[in-house]
Amino acid sequence: MSNSFVRDARAASAPDVWAEIRTREEIIRYRRVGTGHPVLVLAEQQEICPTVVSALTTAGAVRLIMPELPTEAVHVTGWAADFLEGIGATSVGLLATPSCAGAAIELAMLGAVQISRVVLVAEESGLYGRWCEGWQQASFECTDRDVRVPLLLVHKGLPMDEVGPLVRRFFDAE
Please indicate, yes or no, if residue 77 is contained in any of the structural domains: yes
Q: Which residues, 6 or more positions from 75, have their beta carbon under 8 angstroms from its beta carbon? A: none
Give the tens place of pLDDT for each residue, 116-142.
999 998 876 655 555 556 678 888 887
Tell me the residue type at 63. R
Q: Which residues, 6 or more positions from 133, have their beta carbon under 8 angstroms from its beta carbon? A: 125, 155
The C-alpha atoms of residue 131 and residue 101 are separated, in whole angstroms, by: 19
Please tell me the total count of domains within the chain.
1
Give the tens place of pLDDT for each residue, 34-47.
888 899 999 887 67
Domain of 54: which CATH number? Answer: 3.40.50.1820
Please indicate, yes or no, if residue 2 is contained in any of the structural domains: no
Please indicate, yes or no, if residue 6 is contained in any of the structural domains: no
Domain boundaries, position 91:
17-172
pTM comes to: 0.81
Q: Are 94 and 101 in contact (CB under 8 A)?
A: no
